[in-house]
Structure 1
Amino acid sequence: MLASLQRVRQTQKASPLGDREQISTFIVDIIADACERYATLPGVPLGGGIYAAIDTLLQEDAFIGDIAEDSVVPDLTIDEGVRLRAALKRRERFLQSHNRLLPIWREKLIWLFKGMLEYFPDSAFIDVDENGYADDDSVVFPAARAYDLCENLPEVIQRTMLTFYDNDVSEAGLFESLRDLFEDNLYAASGISRDARFSRPPKVVLPTESKLTEPSALVDLYLYGTPFHQFFYKPLPFAIPFPARFEHTHIVGGTGHGKTQLMQFLIHHDLVRAQEDGRSIVVIDSQGDLIRAISQLDYFSDPAFAERFVLVDPNDIEHPVCLNMFDFNRDRLSGYAPVDREKILNATIELYEYFFGALLGADLTQRQGLIFRYLARLLVEIPDATIHTLRELMEDGERFRPYMEKLTGTARNFFATQFFEKKFGETKKQILTRLWGVLSNASLERMFSHTRNRIDIFQLLNQGKVIFINTAKDLLGQDGAAIFGRFFIALIAQASVQRAAMPPHTRRPAFVYIDEAQDYFDDNISHLLNQARKYRVGLIFAHQNLDQLGANLRASVLASTTIKFAGGVSAKDAGILDSEFRCDAGFLLSQRKEKKQTEFACYVKNYTTKALSVSIPLGFVEEKRKIAAYDYNNLLDRNRELYSEPPILIDDTPFPVRTPRPEGKAPKDTEPVKQAAKEPLFNINIREEPEIEIPPSPVRKKVQEPPQKPLKEDASPGRGGRQHKYLQHLVKQLAEERGFRATIEETILDGAGRVDVSLVRDNLRVACQISVTTTKDWELGGIEKCLAAGYVEVVLIGSTERHIKGLSKFIEENLDPKDQGRVRYLTSETVLEYLDRFGKPAPTEQVVRGYKVRTVQQSVASEDAASRRKAISEVIAKSLQKGKRDT
């Protein structure tokens, strides 16, 4: 026995796995090769999980592991001695045959993990810093289990098990103990006892045939006792990609389940990112709690960030904000192209109708909708029109005849032939009654009586402001809060449409949070959602249950949102939402609220195959540092100075003086008074338009917007996802071989943009833009910036042939005609052919970083492999360090 121990120790030292450093290098090489074949790099959590699984498999197959000390041998029992002798014999056999066995063992695991990686989403590969933020713009939630993130888990488990029954490993005697565990689990899952295995041919139930749907149950049943059980329980990051957020987020959270906590978590993410990329944030809240929690965070202590603070609060009755739905910015509109001007005007009219619906407190009738559409066009033409102007139009429209004559086409004809007809009299009375009811709310009257709208949402979004809108249900009441909220949602929609006239790259991201959304939404919300999505405005809205939405509105919301959360829902709602979340109702009902966290089911269309459970820490925002009271009061003072004015009161109307009636009856034979013939309201065919005297507006103090400071850009290279970074370095490598100076993430236009890879040789400047997941508008904006920066040519490199074809069609249709023909569209396989146009020997074909290209350099492969292994070694080192801290 002692001689065997000595031989094994000597053989172990002489093997390629003689010490811990050699073992670590061996494992890292396996991970590196698996990742290379999948063209990726693992993040710290995923890399650490793979490393631990391989390490355990090495020990189970006796390639590594502790060897008993000589001193313990005399004290062993007979059974213990037998087991030790068998283990030593096995260890010695493997170590003496490592030249033959290790390559088989290694190659099997490379292919196994390469195949596994294909089933995980992009978010599983990202790294998250100590504050929980990814190196891209994804929203990262507290970790989900690997089995939850894995697509088609039954298939992955089955393929994993069957891999170890391949002839090469079976004949070599590798992974025997692992196969024994798999067989025990498989028989147990099939309900076959140990004795019954040999009495009749067993009918086993494979994972893909199992009736179990709960991921954890499948992992427990088929992988228990194996290293893969621990691997699939590994916490991995779950991240929502940035582009998906512009396709809107719908949150259904039962009372007390924590939907406000979820919204605070998301808003906090955007606040942090807003300091980097200048995105705008809008928060609409009827209770005030959400606004108080966010607006008093310490981020606003920074003077630069404080300049972006905007608060609209009806409770500040001494300093009402200046609001006016009809303050239409004609100067801005006149600067647009005719087609954009027409689009914006038409969209504005539709939004007025949406707002008018809130004023009436019900869906508009056909006649009300008709009159409102034409009134909207008229009010755009009336200078300094306010809500009182609308009231006066309903009382006596005669005084506005000169403005009616300014209209053209059908709108002019409507006021000439229909507006003053008796059939619209009752409709005007209904509208007037409702307007008097609205104006009876003193707070609403104070805010809406101003002739100028200081809350210019279009401008504020483009400046990256953080806007808090308290609809103050406790002050304004249910109807008043609904009107107030609709007013701002209409302004946001209007601002979104106006972005159509802006180059795509100048549209700052904007995220709009709406709590208790049922108070503001109606059946037309799908139009708003579609308009916002096209112009980089993402909505995140929440409510408590589906019964708060009518059937049509519910259908619009479910169809128009890509990201969905549900928690604390009723059985009825779970039965409706299960198909939307691609899960069963039981999974939705299983989301629990605990002492320190609450759970929500989350589904992201086109990114997850089914709903996942995410945990939201309770009190996450409340624990953050708060702004000092003095600084917060300064914020409020500056906000009032910029956006408020003292209340404007309309002139008191004198009561009519009643004339006493004479006593007695009027004589019967009095001659009837002849009525003068009515003049036509105005001549429809008139060509000359009358001069309109407009009373001068009172002189107002001009508000100076503080100069916007340039936003700080992240200077770290390679800011995209893993595939994006690979393509960046691939282009850089190939270009440098051909004499180019290649720079990744070069800043252009004084920090307004970046080039993925900038190539310079002599007088030639080429900008290479790489597209993997970004939107068409984003890529168009990037190309426009490159051309504006003076690049001779722009190369857009797509991840696939299909992707690049779709991009080329869109970009050529929308690119300025003078720039068409200056953009080339390539895939990774044709990059080298393009670069060889500038003078390089004929290439041969090989694989570089997982992409098939043609190249003439062979020496770079070894350098690249060393670089890749170094990167993966760093990932593993971080993972092991984190593991020590967590234990």
Structure 2
Amino acid sequence: RGVCIIDPHGDLIESILGLVPKERFEDVVVFDPSDLERPIGLNTLETDPNKPEQKTFVINEWLDIFDKLYNMSEVGGPMFENYLRNAMGLLMSDVEEIPTVIDIPRIFSNRDYLKKKLAKCPDPLIIEFWEKQALQVSKGQDLSLENVTPYITSKFTSFISNDYMRPIIAQKKSTINFRKIMDEQKILLVNLAKGKIGDLNSSLLGLMIVGKLLMAAFSRVELPEEERKDFYLYIDEFQNFTTPSITTILSEARKYRLDLIISHQFIAQLQDKIREAIFGNVGNMVVFRVGVKDAEFLVKQFEPVFNENDMINLDNFVAIAKLLVKNIPTRSFTMKTLPPPQGNSEIAKLLKEYSRLTYGTPRGLIEQEIREKYQKESEDLLEME
């Protein structure tokens, strides 16, 4: 079976690596952003030129990511969205060059770079925004490009300048193919240990990877349904790594054959729209000991077999479960979890090394590529003058 596990702590990934059977060794892909020597490339602006709808998905996903990280309803606004939407659209309209996230701030801070991209843009609406709106607002006005620039670029600076993040998001080509991982039923293990890379970077990478997986799942619509192989996506601390687009998968999971297994600690952590999508579509539910408020919300899923007190007073390692078997809900029951099996630490080391050599790129080569890209663009801008 194909599977992806997103772990914000790292311990689960370490345990799983030591349990992988020999016949699946070559299927393992380990995404570990703390590996500074051989970073894996993750370019979220990379889309299929034959699927223009992917550009819209990417732009909407990034707007949702910023809303998730910075609560843009309070600190953003329609003009922020308008500027960012048109900046990303402008970059992705250039079919000759694959953009990366580090190019987005340059649209705002480098006027010559902006004009170069406009000269190659085939989209009249994007051109009109920049030439008739953004570049026409007088300096000093609130919505002038000069005033908006630091506000937008500052949202990117924290991870573009980060030693862990830059070599990952600055690579033109993603070094892992998410659609291929799904179709070939590989094992993708995502170690987002917050203690190593920080909370913000962990959340951002998790959101980017979930977005990539969703886009890959949506692209499977081109395959006959019987040819779509099940792919299982496990997300720990689910609430930190999802945007509203996850509701589509929750409601149409069977169509895309992306099976979600999600865990979180409190109902209140979920946005209303996402909470409704979960409880309106979930097939299997397992609940360990919860607090009073969560018990009040969850009890309706398990009545009349169990009540709120049962849920509040569960013993350690004991859970209440309700399953969907052949599309028929079972009677709720209690279950006790088994102790975790002991893995082989030597196998874990071997698999991590195999994965980084297969999918990672030496940091020196990445930095050289970035330097050459900037140098070439500087030369191109001089020629334009």
TM-score by length of 2: 0.83
Could you tell me which of 15, 29, 46 is aligned with 1:293? 15
C-alpha separation in 2, matches of 1:555 and 1:397 = 45
Residue equivalent to 1:539: 260
Q: Is the 8 A contact 1:578 1:588 kept in 2?
A: no
Residue equivalent to 1:390: 104
Could you tell me which of 339, 346, 362 is aligned with 2:56? 346
C-alpha separation in 1, matches of 2:314 and 2:228 = 39
State the secondary structure of the residue aligned to 1:511.
strand
1:355 aligns with 2:46: no
Unaligned runs of 5+ in 2: 138-142, 373-379
Q: 1:565 to 1:421 in 2, by over 3 A?
A: farther
Could you tell me which of 308, 319, 338 is aligned with 1:618? 338
Could you tell me which of 27, 32, 35 is aligned with 1:308? 27
Q: 1:283 to 1:455 in 2, by over 3 A?
A: same
Which residue type is aligned with residue 277 of structure 2? S
C-alpha separation in 2, matches of 1:413 and 1:588 = 62
Shift of 1:294: 1.2
Residue equivalent to 1:323: 42
Residue equivalent to 1:419: 134
Q: Is the 8 A contact 1:358 1:483 kept in 2?
A: no
C-alpha separation in 1, matches of 2:121 and 2:20 = 52
Which residue type is aligned with residue 327 of structure 1? E
C-alpha separation in 2, matches of 1:284 and 1:607 = 29
1:401 aligns with 2:119: no
Which residue type is aligned with residue 57 of structure 2? A
Q: Is the 8 A contact 2:134 2:144 kept in 1?
A: yes
Unaligned runs of 5+ in 1: 1-273, 275-279, 334-340, 653-692, 695-887
Residue equivalent to 1:13: none
Q: How big is each residue's C-alpha offset from its partner over 1:555-604, in whole Å with a ceiling of 9 and x where there is no partner?
A: 3332343332222111111111222444464265166235xx42233254
Could you tell me which of 144, 147, 151 is aligned with 1:430? 151
C-alpha separation in 2, matches of 1:537 and 1:370 = 32
State the secondary structure of the residue aligned to 1:543.
coil
Identity %: 21
C-alpha separation in 2, matches of 1:361 and 1:320 = 29
User: What's the RMSD between the two structures over aligned residues?
Assistant: 2.9
State the secondary structure of the residue aligned to 1:307.
helix
Shift of 1:476: 1.9
Could you tell me which of 311, 335, 352 is aligned with 1:636? 352
Shift of 1:424: 5.2
State the secondary structure of the residue aligned to 2:263.
strand
Residue equivalent to 1:371: 83
Could you tell me which of 192, 217, 220 is aligned with 1:499? 220
Which residue type is aligned with residue 108 of structure 2? M
Q: 1:398 to 1:638 in 2, by over 3 A?
A: same
C-alpha separation in 2, matches of 1:321 and 1:296 = 21
State the secondary structure of the residue aligned to 2:88.
helix
Q: How big is each residue's C-alpha offset from its partner over 1:30-57, in whole Å with a ceiling of 9 and x where there is no partner?
A: xxxxxxxxxxxxxxxxxxxxxxxxxxxx
C-alpha separation in 2, matches of 1:438 and 1:446 = 10
Q: Is the 8 A contact 2:48 2:54 kept in 1?
A: no
C-alpha separation in 2, matches of 1:356 and 1:532 = 25
Q: Is the 8 A contact 1:569 1:589 kept in 2?
A: yes
State the secondary structure of the residue aligned to 1:443.
coil
Q: Is the 8 A contact 2:291 2:312 kept in 1?
A: no
Q: How big is each residue's C-alpha offset from its partner over 1:418-464, in whole Å with a ceiling of 9 and x where there is no partner?
A: 33344253443222112112234321122112121112211211111
Q: 1:618 to 1:421 in 2, by over 3 A?
A: farther
Q: 1:563 to 1:397 in 2, by over 3 A?
A: farther
Q: How big is each residue's C-alpha offset from its partner over 1:139-161, in whole Å with a ceiling of 9 and x where there is no partner?
A: xxxxxxxxxxxxxxxxxxxxxxx
Could you tell me which of 646, 650, 660 is aligned with 2:362? 646
Q: 1:556 to 1:417 in 2, by over 3 A?
A: farther
Which residue type is aligned with residue 395 of structure 1? S
State the secondary structure of the residue aligned to 2:134.
coil
- Aligned pairs (5 A) from 1:8-23: none
Q: Is the 8 A contact 1:558 1:580 kept in 2?
A: no
Which residue type is aligned with residue 376 of structure 1? M
C-alpha separation in 2, matches of 1:506 and 1:400 = 44
Shift of 1:536: 0.5
Shift of 1:640: 1.6
- Aligned pairs (5 A) from 1:679-698: none
Whose relative contact order is higher, 1 or 2, with alpha carbons under 8 Å and at least 6 apart?
2
Q: Is the 8 A contact 2:66 2:72 kept in 1?
A: no
Residue equivalent to 1:600: 320
C-alpha separation in 2, matches of 1:434 and 1:344 = 23
Q: 1:564 to 1:296 in 2, by over 3 A?
A: same
Shift of 1:310: 0.3
State the secondary structure of the residue aligned to 1:540.
strand
C-alpha separation in 2, matches of 1:317 and 1:358 = 27
C-alpha separation in 2, matches of 1:401 and 1:359 = 30
C-alpha separation in 2, matches of 1:641 and 1:424 = 47
C-alpha separation in 2, matches of 1:553 and 1:638 = 37
C-alpha separation in 1, matches of 2:54 and 2:153 = 28
Which residue type is aligned with residue 354 of structure 1? D
Q: 1:308 to 1:474 in 2, by over 3 A?
A: same
Residue equivalent to 2:286: 565
C-alpha separation in 1, matches of 2:158 and 2:274 = 27
Which residue type is aligned with residue 6 of structure 2? I
Q: 1:360 to 1:428 in 2, by over 3 A?
A: farther
C-alpha separation in 2, matches of 1:350 and 1:535 = 20
Q: Is the 8 A contact 1:321 1:454 kept in 2?
A: yes
1:574 aligns with 2:295: yes
Count of residue pairs brought into register by the alignment: 359
C-alpha separation in 2, matches of 1:591 and 1:462 = 43
C-alpha separation in 2, matches of 1:500 and 1:370 = 30
Shift of 1:321: 1.1
Residue equivalent to 1:762: none
Shift of 1:372: 2.8
C-alpha separation in 2, matches of 1:480 and 1:613 = 39
Q: Is the 8 A contact 1:351 1:493 kept in 2?
A: no
State the secondary structure of the residue aligned to 1:469.
strand
- Aligned pairs (5 A) from 1:173-212: none
For the pair shown, the structure with the greater C-alpha radius of gyration is: 1
- Aligned pairs (5 A) from 1:817-832: none
Which residue type is aligned with residue 315 of structure 1? S
Q: Is the 8 A contact 1:311 1:469 kept in 2?
A: yes
Residue equivalent to 1:589: 311
C-alpha separation in 1, matches of 2:91 and 2:11 = 36
Q: Is the 8 A contact 1:344 1:497 kept in 2?
A: no
- Aligned pairs (5 A) from 1:206-285: 274=1, 280-285=2-7
Q: 1:419 to 1:495 in 2, by over 3 A?
A: farther
Residue equivalent to 1:472: 193
C-alpha separation in 1, matches of 2:213 and 2:226 = 19
Residue equivalent to 1:72: none
Shift of 1:378: 2.2
Shift of 1:410: 2.5
